[in-house]
Chains A and B, each alone.
Chain A
Amino acid sequence: DAGVTQSPTHLIKTRGQQVTLRCSPISGHKSVSWYQQVLGQGPQFIFQYYEKEERGRGNFPDRFSARQFPNYSSELNVNALLLGDSALYLCASSLDISYEQYFGPGTRLTVT
């Protein structure tokens, strides 16, 4: 069975641009969470979605938004990119909100 997949793998954007990152959960998983990992630090929680509804949001500005589709895949959008948004963006899926989370390989975003 395929694990969590994310696209693209790497991305380079310039300040002020907008970016969309995509995540496909493990088949049967209904919850998707997004995390940001800045180099040298542990991941930080951004969003959790379950059954297409936002269930939780971390301490991130409104420039960050996300959505979950009927097939449970998810997109993370970041507007007006800043240099500080450069990070590894991780997606994790789980059967349900409180179940074990399985992580994707991440999308490495570089903002120049």
Chain B
Amino acid sequence: KNEVEQSPQNLTAQEGEFITINCSYSVGISALHWLQQHPGGGIVSLFMLSSGKKKHGRLIATINIQEKHSSLHITASHPRDSAVYICAAGGLIQGAQKLVFGQGTRLTINP
């Protein structure tokens, strides 16, 4: 079993739909990261959170430390949101911040 599990692995939706991507982790963390990766490889950091909820535009990230679970929500989805979304569990281990990545969720938003 992977230390960080995401679901679903693939998600296709219509423009305007509300999107939820889930992340469960089994490692101890200091922060949970949500990242966006477009074709070609570039990764953009969306959120870094250690508790509660954060919102940026149409994106919302929540985390439940007790249940070791985080969700990324996209409201009013748009085709430009199509990308791979990756969650990564960050922990300070022996003096280094190590990120353990999930396998990613490939999101496709159709117009």
Q: Nearest chain-A residue to B99 (Cβ)?
A: A45
**Interface flags, A22-55, vs B, CB<8A=1, else 0:** 0000000001010101000111110010100001
Contact A98 to B97, CB < 8 A, known contacts A88-B41, A103-B44, A108-B41 = yes
Point out the residues of chain A lying under 8 angstroms from B40, CB to CB.
105
A100 surroundings in chain B (CB, below 8 A): 31, 33, 45, 48
Chain A contact-residue range equals: 20 to 34
Interfacial chain A residues near B97, Cβ < 8 Å: 31, 33, 48, 55-56, 94, 97-98, 101
B111 at the interface (CB under 8 A from A): no
Using known A-B contacts A48-B98, A55-B95, determine if residue A42 contacts B42 with beta carbons closer than 8 Å. no
Where the two chains meet, the residues of B that have a C-beta atom closer than 8 Å to any C-beta of A are 4, 30-31, 33, 35, 40-45, 48, 86, 88, 92-104
